[in-house]
Structure 1
Amino acid sequence: MTTDVSGTSPVTFPRPPAEPLRYAAFTHDPAGGNPAGIVLDASALDDAAMLTIAAEVGYSETVFVTDHDEASRRFRVRYFSPLAEVAFCGHATVALAVALAERLGPGEIVLDTPAGEIPVATRVDGAGAVLATLTSVPTRSRPALSTESDAVLTALGWAPGDLDPALPPHVAFGGNDHLVLAAASRARLADLDYDFEGLAEVMRRHGWTTVHLVWRESPERFHARDPFPVGGVVEDPATGAAAAAFGGYLRTLGLVTPPATVVIRQGEDMGRPSVLRIDVDPQDARTRVTGQAVPITV
């Protein structure tokens, strides 16, 4: 799908209660990727109204622009799942950046999020598609305690032998905390049938946004799945925030030789294939996450 984003005429954002936009992120196909709701002008909405809209939209995240300065291309945003506010959401950030580029023209924008400042670069590729590259807040990663990982394995119905010993469990941060667990096989990753309430309770106890389950196909290619029960969603088809945190995980463990580009395939087992590209730099603790987004017609 191509979009003409050459114009840079001033944009008047819709006033609430406007119908939220809907975009699929990390895909070129509206039937793939991770859907996100977008409210371009939420300046008149309070917390309860934003949570209500996010629940009505029903996607894993809806992003709300609560203030903006078009001249400086700076936007204050908040993110809500159907159940709660989260500090940062990568796929909704990519979706919003693409929607803004379609209205304001490609270029740099800055998002002020509850997690911190997130620069996003947008550009049009040779096929006419809009790409967005977000730069995360500084990442970090630490070994998971056995009590942390064991509780999650129980909720997943996995055994310790289902894990790849070369990729140890970690709690990684890229705006939110995510528990990273690496499956020993693609078949183990594909077979996901977990205790929804049990996993949600463990995640709430530790303040984790998702459990980032990965399988390493090669040093530059991973497959991922992200249970998100704390947001009221069984699974995320593409998780930009977890991808940012995973960049910090790879960097901390020395599993890539930066500067490195790693491709993450996600959503395939859900029928919503997604592609996330992360760039890891040796001189910068931040991860750059790149993806496409397209409008969803409802």
Structure 2
Amino acid sequence: MTVPVLRFAAFTDPTLTDAAAGGNPAGIVLDASGLDDAAMQSIAAKVGYAETAFVTVPVVDGDPRRSRLRYFSPVAEVPFCGHATIATAVALAGRDGVGAFTFDTSVGTITIQTRNTDAGLAASFTSVEPEVRAIAPEVLTELLGLLGASVASLHPEYPPLQAFAGNWHPVLVFANAAGFDAFTFDPAAMRTLMDAQGWAGTVTTLTVLGPNEFEARNLFPVGTLSEDPATGSAAASVGGYLRELGLVTPPTRVVIHQGRHVHRPSLLLVDVPATGGIVVSGTASEIA
């Protein structure tokens, strides 16, 4: 059986001449109701993107705009994937019209709004309630060692913590752009640490560009990949992290640039309300 797979780039930078040359590519199967886990895993591996989204139940409770979604990386199922959620919503909006969609995911129900913009179709998802917790000192030491960094490399106003808004992400904010740009890591060793800690998302590293503006590198060693071009779940987690620590004054918008280091410039807009889930927005474009 041949399964149609769409390919979209999410969180594209609207300033690029070819928007699909930026952003984070995602595979999308709009009707995976006939696929078992092994088939979805096989398709995700063949697509080779960081994640492929599968609409396993296209219509939930008779609502044509409510679906069940699952996400697979090339090697395993992941609980949630922000960029594939944005991409799926834009694909559905192109087929069914803009407006609201509801996605039932492994981490809960996600509400997503789609709309037309000057840069094309855009979507916004509201995350589940974010959480923040400490990183064990020995784990932080190991993580920084893998990056060739130290506690002194980090920004004193942004403590290293784990943040959750769908996936758990360790969040490290570098004190300066030079340290942020220069670090390297061994993908296999990083993957071993991430698996041991249950970090199904990314290792999120940031540098401060200005008030409410950051650049991110999200480490995601899987298959041939080492860094993610744009990470919606991490952006939501960062929004929760900033709010929990009082580093922003809600309601506010945070701008995250990502993908420069892997030559796929991306733009994520993060709206942080006073309470509740974090809203992450971006455009998406179909990849020819």
The verdict on a shared fold, with TM-score over 0.5 as the criterion, is yes
Q: Residue 56 of structure 1 corresponds to which residue in structure 2? A: 46
Q: State the SS of the aligned residue for 2:58.
A: strand
Residues in 2 aligned to 1:253 and 1:231: alpha-carbon distance in whole angstroms: 34
CA distances 1:160-205 after superposition (whole Å, capped 9, x unpaired): 2211111100100011100000111112212232011111111111
Contact 2:98 2:116 in 1 (8 A): yes
Contact 2:33 2:58 in 1 (8 A): no
Q: Residue 262 of structure 1 corresponds to which residue in structure 2? A: 254
**Worse-superposed segment, 175-184 or 154-163:** 154-163
Q: Residue 17 of structure 1 corresponds to which residue in structure 2? A: 2
CA distance 1:99–1:39, change in 2 (3 Å): same
Contact 2:8 2:25 in 1 (8 A): yes
1:248 counterpart (240, 255, 262): 240
How far did residue 235 of structure 1 move? Answer: 0.6
Runs of 4+ in 1 over 3 A off after TM superposition: none
CA distance 1:171–1:193, change in 2 (3 Å): same
Q: State the SS of the aligned residue for 2:278.
A: strand
Q: Residue 23 of structure 2 corresponds to which residue in structure 1? A: 33
**Worse-superposed segment, 66-75 or 108-117:** 66-75
CA distances 1:38-62 after superposition (whole Å, capped 9, x unpaired): 0011111111111111010000000
CA distances 1:206-261 after superposition (whole Å, capped 9, x unpaired): 10121000011122100000111257620100000001111110011000000010
Contact 1:203 1:230 in 2 (8 A): no
CA distances 1:40-89 after superposition (whole Å, capped 9, x unpaired): 11111111111111010000000000012274400101000001000000
Q: Give the total of aligned pairs.
A: 280
State the percentage of identical aligned residues.
50
Q: Residue 43 of structure 1 corresponds to which residue in structure 2? A: 33
Q: State the SS of the aligned residue for 1:229.
A: strand
Q: Residue 11 of structure 1 corresponds to which residue in structure 2? A: none
Residues in 2 aligned to 1:204 and 1:76: alpha-carbon distance in whole angstroms: 26
2:134 counterpart (134, 143, 154): 143
Amino acid at match of 1:114: S
TM-score, with normalisation over the residues of structure 2? 0.94
Residues in 1 aligned to 2:225 and 2:244: alpha-carbon distance in whole angstroms: 29
Amino acid at match of 1:19: P
- Say yes or no: does 1:132 pair with 2:123: yes
Aligned residue runs from structure 1 range 142-291, under 5 A: 142-208=133-199, 209-229=201-221, 233-284=225-276, 286-291=277-282
TM-score, with normalisation over the residues of structure 1? 0.91
RMSD (Å), alpha carbons: 1.3
Amino acid at match of 2:274: P
Residues in 2 aligned to 1:105 and 1:154: alpha-carbon distance in whole angstroms: 49
CA distances 1:96-145 after superposition (whole Å, capped 9, x unpaired): 000000000000000001111000000112x2611100000110112322
CA distance 1:193–1:128, change in 2 (3 Å): closer
Give the gaps of 5 or more residues in structure 1.
Answer: 1-15
